[in-house]
Amino acid sequence: MWVAAHAVALPLVQDDFDGGEQLELMLGPLYVVTVDDRVSGPLTNRPARRYRSPPQALEDARCLALLLLDRSDELGDDGPWRRPLPGGQRHVAIVRAPGGSIG
C-alpha cells in the first residue's frame, strides 16, 4: 500500500501578530512559577534544585503551585510559600512573566 503525505506551507503573517501585548489582551497577563528546593547536600545526598515554569495563565500557575506544595486548599496570600522537605525546604513563588509574553 502506498500512502502519499502532503504538506502545505502556510505563510506567517507578521502584521497580524502584535507580540506579547496582543497575547496579553487575548489571554490576560501571564505568570511563571519558580521553585527552589533548598536542601542540605550532605544530609540528603543531593544538590539543591531550581525550576522556572513556562509562562501561563494565573489560574494554571496557582494550580501548579498547589501541586508543588502538596496542598489541596487554596493559596491564601500572594506567596512565596514554603513546604518542608527531607533535609530542607521547597520555596514556591508566582511572578508575572517579563513582558507578559510567551518565551
Q: What are the pLDDT digits (tens) for 3-38?
A: 444 333 434 444 444 455 555 555 689 999 999 999
- Asked if the model's pLDDT at residue 2 lies above 50, the reply is no
Query: pTM value?
Result: 0.67
Distance, in Å, from the CA atom of 49 to the CA atom of 39, rounded to the nearest integer, reads: 8
**Domain locations in the chain?**
28-100
The pLDDT of residue 78 is 82
pLDDT digits (tens, 9 = 90+) for 53-78: 999 999 999 999 999 999 988 888 88
Residues in the chain: 103
Scan for cell 507578521, then name that residue.
14
- Walk across the sheet containing 88-96 and list its strands: 49-52, 31-39, 88-96, 81-85
3-state class (DSSP) for residue 1 = coil
Closest CA to 28 of 54, 57, 53, 64: 57
